[in-house]
Structure 1
Amino acid sequence: MKSNFMQLTTLSVLMMGGSQLVHAAETTRSTLPKFQAKDIPALCDANIKKIQNDLSAFEQKNIKKNAKAAPVLAEWDQVFSKFEDFYGPIGLYSNVDPDEALRKAAEDCEIKISEFQTSVFQNPKLYEQIKKLKTNDEIEKKYRQDILDSFENTGVQLTAEKRARLKAIFDELAKIEQEYARNVRDNAEKLEFTPAELKGLPDSYISGLKKNEKGNYLLGFEYPEYRPFMELAESDDARKRYQTAFTRRGTEKNLGLLKQAMDLRYEIAQLFGKKSYAEWVLQHRMAKDPATVNKFLSEVHATVAPLEKKEVQTLREFKAKTLKIPVEKAEINRWSEAYWSEKLRKEKYEVDQEKLRDYFPTQASQEWIFAISSDLYGIDFQPAKVDVWQDEVEYYDVKDKKTGEMLGGLYIDKYPRKGKYGHAAVWGVKGGSTLTNRKPISALVTNFNRKGLNSDELETFVHEFGHALHGILSNTRFASQSGTSVERDFVEAPSQMYEEWARRKETLSTLANYCKPACPRVDDALISKLNAVHSYGRGLHYARQTLYAQFDMALHSTDALKVQPLEVWKKMEGATALGYVPTTEFPGQFNHIMGGYQVGYYGYMWSEVMALDMLSAFGDNLNNPEVGQRYRKTILSQGGQYEAEKIVHDFLGRKPDNKAFFDEITGQRVK
């Protein structure tokens, strides 16, 4: 999964990615504190009490109407940065710490923080203090407006009765969203498969599995176990059983939690006089309103639906030919698509995803990503020994090559383990500020195979690294606007653009330089095959992305109260080329719509429009450091201190357009 998923509560999302600041100027390394589970409750209460006192003092300040904004905004930012020093790590550890008790204590603290944040942004006296300010430039103007939006979206202008109800909803949503994520993340269920059911999987995969007393293999829901099985296991029944269980891993309870969240979100919209939750949320996104999003998704669907049908038919014909059966009997099901797609890739394009792990050893891939990022952006990654939450976690100082200036810190947590967040994501744990020389920190979390990556996983690694760099290379005045604190429908664009570096020969051919022991070098022939594979399946991929986005919008429409999520999913998935599989429960494990991306899944494709257009600036030389430095300065360093549309225009020298995106969908983009 390629996401910048940050386990944000509903309110945190409204706060443009969180608030951030420090006690004093920071000029050296800044790392994350370690906690003990038993200490977190008291620390949580103490940190909330401290910021309450700071805000009480801020509330009493004698700020005159039209007072200069700069010192007041700096103080506001500083208050929340001190708080972020605590809640940033808490949000990360609740998802990655090996200690279940600590994860639970961190989750409980997150609930308290969410409740506290709601009370802050419902405080009319604090709101009036910010309203009085007169800004001096565009950065101050946008930051002031971001803060006012946070107040207004939390109901500061509503009646006391409505404010109280809104706070109760926010508090309840925080608990529901957290429980939903925990049900997926902590599901320890293991499925039992016989040795015969593992036929087709390589010895390197089987050797890492656990057996029970009957000699059967036990598989859980971590991606390094699930994905190869779905692509390589020959047993159709086993794949169906595994996929069905995988879609149900959130348990049926999550369907109820999702419905509760939908109804509460609809009630939020009603409190603000909006027709739907989507209308309420989108007012602060690039897209602005549901009509624009639905039109975009409809255009994408019209393009990809015929391609999806064509690709499924291609798979049916390939299956018929392989098994020597009539095409009409060669059915392709949801659980067999990945298997037959992989077989087609191997035969038609001679690409074996498992063998690609020899080309992309995991550690060599990381060192390669460091190298291309270093050359492109003029930065260095220097390992350092610091306290970490688990022994295999790595830490790096990121410095500017020319000046030696410390830019920020990077934590990398690559391998799966029990209780850890199960996908790939980056936590922007700490935002930077030029006012205080505060340095940002990003934590990159994945669940990779220890030996090597396939081409999809390599793209995921580069994608997530793009998020990490967006945070670390941020150079904003205010910490609250640092890094990925941008419009949610732009946040994926820098990462999606960076994926291209995992596809081209000019960059991929250098990966072998970092292999110890030596590994095969990517050559023209393999690049040609990988490009063909990348173009193959575009219809299936984008049709699925469109389905997810349209489902998300349907759950948060004007009809939300009448909608039962599983029934809507059955209808919508049932209308696709592969149909709906009875007893599967995808909505019960769709983390995005319960973890900050609600009314936001369309943003993956919306961002890709920007990403592919920005990519055009690099032309046929991805390694051009001149363009890289300009991109670093114009896009990455700006964080959210300007509107996304403005910084993209500044980089491109024109308005963005969607031609490259639709060329990508249809396989016509020139590489």
Structure 2
Amino acid sequence: MKTSSLFLPVTTAFFTLMMNQAIAQGTQRPLIPLLKADEIPTLCSSTLDGLRKRVTMLEKLPPAHAKDSKKVLTEWNDLQIALEDLQGPVDILNNVSPDAKVRSTTEACLIETNKFATDLLQSEKLYARFKAIQPTDPIEQKLRQDILYSFDDTGVSLPPEKRARMKEILDKLGELSQEFARNIRDNNQKLTFTPAELQGMPAAYLARAKRDDKGNYLLGFEYPDYKPFMESADNSDARRRYQIAFTNHGTPKNLDILKQAMDLRHEMAGLFGLPSYADLVTRRRMVKNPQTVEKFLTEVQTAVTQLERKEIEELRVFKSETLKTPLADTKLDRWDAEYWQQKIKQARYNVDQEALRKYFPSEAAVPWILHVSGALYGVEFKRVEVPVWDPEVQYYDVIDSKSKERIAGIYLDLYPREGKYGHAAAWGTRGVSTFAHRTPISTLVTNLDRNGLNSDELETLVHEFGHVLHGVLSHTKYVAQAGTNVELDFVEAPSQMYEEWARRKESLTLLAGFCKTACPTIDDALLARLTAAHNYGRGIRYARQLLYASYDMTIHNDKADKEQPLAVWQQMEGATPLGYVPGTEFPGQFGHLMGGYAAGYYGYMWSEVLALDMLSRYNGKLMNPEVGHLYRQDILSRGAEKPAGEMVSSFLGREPNSKAFFDEISGQRLH
């Protein structure tokens, strides 16, 4: 029998580069290619041309060929792998490359890749092939359904004129998303502060801060600059100036971009006969509809409103007592909140976030979380020297402890630099496919303080590493179901659950063993103080999450085409206890709204319901490898092979519930 090349794995120009680099290093491991700016346009266009030819060949196959579900799904898997071998490396280099020209050319490539994906999912012939197959098992059945949803949501079933308009909208949204992110990422503005304005900042912060020829400090929008300043700088006017600049560092251009996106998304929903973009996207998620989201957010509001007001009033009283000003004349402004929270934590619980950096040195925190993850989930992380885009980037092979086989790879890009993505995130650069003998790669991007981490930053590191684990410990047959390709309102749950390992004694006490020089160990007394400090401010913290989620749903509701993003924000933030700060334009740097979370930000709290419930399965013994193995088996390894609700129920041995979450946000959870 003659075997069509369609059934063989696709080798793209990008994948060839990856393998050539690997071979040069004496290994067959796949790697992220270190592309040069002048290579990218040709590689991108040639790869996409090859993929288009492949699609044309698939479209010409006879209908009888579609009777074999395995063949059809294998062809799709190969196609998705080829597309990911282009998109994965280009996407991460777009966010981390030190070369501005590479970032620019990868952005253009991502826009073209997005256009190809739209064309692919509007192919009526391929859509018909998936409708015709009969899956042979539940995994195939769910994959087929997810693929059909993707085609449907891209407009394949719309009349020709509407389908063409849908393509225009999706292509434009892809361009707007790239422009929005670039306006934030490439803003290299530095604010000038006098030495007097930095009173209260720790010596280590001052020592590393850049200064001009007059001795003034130059601070940018990287988190190691901004967040400690807002927590520790004594000068209220300086904090106000920094907060306004930080809040506005993607505007005014990004407000126009967001408004364009709102209008396009609203029009998109109308093409499907739906009243809003929120209706369009939630139908594929756990919540199923916007009404479920609104009900959930109302319950959150009921749980946190009084606690938020109580905490704000406590901060105002504390400010009055500390500054010895009459309470009636003392106001708590938005730029005061983090500062006075830290002061009250120091006074009540003797917790100084800056002092914690000696407990959590950056060079110890990373090997510590690798060790904790390995012990829990039965893997080992082996440092390997490979080509990287910056000398500080680290690469590790992930080895299964039982089989001793290499199962994945991870890149760690830990420290801030100019032009790099400014927050913390994990990229699933390469998804697993056991059917194609394909191992995954995940990339962790953070902006850690080189001098050490405070407890919040340690928690962020652990959270993002949870996403990395979701990618590299996935063991799915098809790449489309790999890792974090789960429902958007579940994707944060594994990482949110993992945050607990940054707060518990049995895991934290292991960190001191990774310090290069002696560092203090977390004892019971300090842990109790840290727990109390973490718990304080829950009302303010979750009320802010509620505001973000409510705003997101509002600008994607059935009246979105009549709304202006800044006006809605001014009204909604203005109704909160701390009010709206005149001159601020927060929506212009709310990257989630242009980065895949539109009408989905509620998912952070929705998934935390599941995260805190899954945590109960450990029964307070977080380093129990038996439960860790079960979690790897039931959640991490399954990717999107099953609906999220089913996976959680399997892991818990019961239906999930929201009690732990509402205890947490209302201040009743004591740990």
Q: Structure 1 residue 150: deviation in Å?
A: 1.0
Counterpart mapping for 1:358-437 below 5 A: 358-437=358-437
- CA apart distance, 1:213: 2.5
Q: Which residue of 2 aligns with 1:249?
A: 249
Q: CA deviation at 1:668?
A: 1.9
Q: 2:469 corresponds to which letter in structure 1?
A: L
Q: In 1, Cα distance between the equivalents of 2:662 and 2:461?
A: 24
Do 2:252 and 2:588's aligned partners in 1 also have CA atoms closer than 8 Å? yes
Distance 1:546 1:229 in 2: 25
Which residues in structure 2 correspond to 1:514-663 (within 5 Å)? 514-663=514-663
Contact 2:634 2:651 in 1 (8 A): yes
CA contact (8 A) 2:66 2:72 kept: no
Q: Is the 8 A contact 1:65 1:133 kept in 2?
A: no
Say whether the 8 Å CA contact 1:22–1:438 is kept in structure 2: no
Whole-Å separation in 2 of the counterparts to 1:117 and 1:66: 21
After superposition, where does 1:19-34 map in structure 2 within 5 Å?
23=11, 28-34=28-34
- SS of equivalent to 2:484: coil
- Say yes or no: does 1:73 pair with 2:76: no
Residue by residue over 1:493-539, the C-alpha shift from the partner in whole angstroms, topping out at 9 and shown as x without a partner, is 00000000000111111111111101000000111011101110000
The residue matched to 2:410 in structure 1 has which SS? strand
Contact persistence 1:376–1:625 (CA under 8 A): yes
Measured against aligned partners, the alpha-carbon deviations of 1:276-299 in whole angstroms (never above 9, x if no partner) come to 000000010001100000110111
What's the secondary structure of 1:270's corresponding residue? helix
CA distance in 1, matches of 2:408, 2:220: 36
Alpha carbons of structure 1 residues 494 and 22: separation in structure 2 relative to 1, 3 Å: farther
Question: Greater shift after overlay, 453-462 or 124-133?
Answer: 124-133
Residues 399 and 407, structure 2, Cα contact 8 Å, conserved in 1: yes
- For residues 507-518 of structure 1, the aligned pairs below 5 Å read 507-518=507-518
**For residues 522-574 of structure 1, what are the alpha-carbon distances to aligned partners after superposition, in whole Å with 9 as ceiling and x for unaligned?**
00011101110111000000000000000000000001011111111111111
Name the CA distance, whole Å, in 2 between partners of 1:347 and 1:28.
56
Shift of 1:212: 1.7
Letter in 1 for 2:29: R
State the Cα distance separating 1:22 from its structure 2 match.
5.4
Structure 1 residues 486-505: aligned runs within 5 Å: 486-505=486-505
Alignment correspondent of 2:316: 316
Partner deviation per Cα, 1:383-413 (whole Å, 9 max, x = no partner) = 0011111111000000111111111000000
What SS does the corresponding residue of 2:415 show, helix, strand or coil?
coil
Structure 2 unmatched runs, 5+: 1-8, 20-26
Structure 2 vs 1, CA of residues 537 and 670 (structure 1 numbering), >3 Å: closer, same or farther? closer
Q: How far apart, in 2, do the equivalents of 1:269 and 1:333 lie?
A: 39
Q: Tell me by how many angstroms 1:63 deviates.
A: 3.5
- 1:547–1:377 distance in 2 versus 1, CA, 3 Å: same
Is 631-640 or 115-124 further displaced after alignment?
115-124
1:433-457 CA deviation, whole Å, 9 max, x = no partner?
Answer: 1112200000000001011000000
The answer for unaligned runs of 5 or more in structure 1 is 1-20
1:58 counterpart letter in structure 2: L
Q: Which residue of 2 aligns with 1:57?
A: 57
Q: Which amino acid aligns with 1:344?
A: I
| 3-state SS in 2 of match to 1:398 | strand
Normalising by structure 2, what TM-score?
A: 0.96
Which secondary structure state, in structure 2, belongs to the residue aligned with residue 567 of structure 1?
A: helix
Shift of 1:641: 1.1
Q: In structure 1, what is the Cα distance between the partners aligned to 2:93 and 2:549?
A: 29
How far does residue 463 in structure 1 lie from its aligned partner after superposition?
0.3
Q: Distance in 1 between matches of 2:407 and 2:328?
A: 60
In the alignment, what sits opposite 1:470?
470
Q: Answer yes or no: is the 8 Å Cα contact 1:316–1:331 preserved in 2.
A: yes
Give the corresponding residue for 1:18: none
Once the two structures are TM-superposed, the CA of residue 321 in structure 1 deviates from its matched residue by 1.3
Alpha-carbon contact 2:472-2:483 (below 8 Å) kept: yes
**How many Å separate the matches in 1 of 2:666 and 2:258?**
34
1:264 to 2:267 alignment: no
Aligned partner of 1:7 in structure 2 is: none
Cα separation, partners in 2 of 1:604 and 1:22, compared to 1, 3 Å: farther
What is the rounded CA distance, in whole Å, between the counterparts of 2:295 and 2:425 in structure 1?
29
Contact 2:393 2:414 (8 Å CA) reproduced: yes
Write the letter of the residue equivalent to 1:101.
K
Write the letter of the residue equivalent to 1:521: T
The Cα of 1:71 is off from its aligned counterpart by: 2.1
8 Å Cα contact 2:37-2:101 kept in structure 1: yes
Contact 2:204 2:451 in 1 (8 A): no
SS in structure 1 at match of 2:419 = coil
Name the residue aligned to 1:12: none
Find out whether 1:330 has 2:330 as its counterpart.
yes
In the TM superposition, residue 222 of structure 1 has moved relative to its aligned partner by 0.6
**Distance of 2:510 and 2:668 partners within structure 1:** 26
Q: Does the 8 Å CA contact 2:414/2:446 hold for their aligned counterparts?
A: yes
Q: Paired residue for 2:221?
A: 221
1:28 CA displacement: 4.8
User: Does residue 1:96 correspond to 2:100, yes or no?
Assistant: no
- In structure 1, the partner of 2:279 is 279
Counterpart code for 2:628: G
Q: How does 1:223-238 map to 2 (within 5 A)?
A: 223-238=223-238
Offset, 1:664: 0.8
Structure 2 distance, partners of 1:66, 1:213, is 71
Distance 1:53 1:155 in 2: 22
Alignment-mate amino acid for residue 403 of structure 1: S
Q: Deviations over 1:70-93 (max 9, x none)?
A: 221012111220221121100111
Aligned residue in 1 for 2:3: none
Query: What is the CA distance between 1:64 and its match in structure 2?
Result: 2.4
Match of 2:5 in 1: none
The answer to whether the 8 A contact 1:68-1:136 is kept is no
Aligned structure 1 segments of 4 or more residues deviating by more than 4 angstroms: 21-28
Q: Answer 1 or 2: higher relative contact order, Cα 8 Å, separation at least 6.
A: 1
- Alignment match, 1:296: 296
RMSD (Å) for aligned C-alpha atoms: 1.5
Q: TM-score, normalised by structure 1?
A: 0.96
Cα deviation per residue 1:305-331 (whole Å; 9 max; x = unaligned)? 111100000001111111122222221
Q: How much does 1:669 deviate? A: 2.1
Asked if structure 1 preserves the Cα contact closer than 8 Å seen for 2:426 and 2:445, the reply is yes
CA contact 2:505–2:527 (8 Å) conserved in 1: yes
Map Cα deviations across residues 39-95 of structure 1 (whole Å, 9 max, x no partner): 100001011011111111111122328713122101211122022112110011111
Does the CA-based 8 Å contact 1:37-1:101 persist in structure 2? yes
In structure 2, distance between residues paired with 1:228 and 1:534: 16
1:163 aligned partner: 163
Does residue 109 (structure 1) correspond to residue 144 (structure 2)? The answer is no
Letter in 1 for 2:166: L
- 1:77–1:530 Cα change, 3 Å: same
* Whole-angstrom distance in 1 between the partners of 2:354 and 2:535: 19
CA distance in 2, matches of 1:589, 1:499: 25
- Residue identity over aligned pairs, in percent, reads 55
Q: Partner amino acid for 2:257?
A: L
CA distance in 2, matches of 1:637, 1:236: 49
Residue 43 of structure 1 is matched in structure 2 by 43
Structure-1 separation of matches of 2:393 and 2:246: 27
2:148 maps to 148
Spell out, residue by residue over 1:347-369, the C-alpha distance to the aligned partner (whole angstroms, 9 max, x if none).
Answer: 11100000100000011011110
1:134 counterpart SS class = coil
The answer on whether the counterparts of 2:193 and 2:217 sit within 8 Å (CA) in structure 1 is: yes
Question: Counterparts of 1:658 and 1:123 in 2: how far apart (Å)?
Answer: 42
Contact 1:407-1:472 within 8 A present in 2 as well: yes
How many residues are aligned here? 652
State the one-letter code of the partner of 2:597.
Y
Task: State the distance in 2 between where 1:488 and 1:292 align.
Answer: 15
Please give the alpha-carbon distance, in whole angstroms, between the structure 1 residues aligned to 2:64 and 2:540. 59
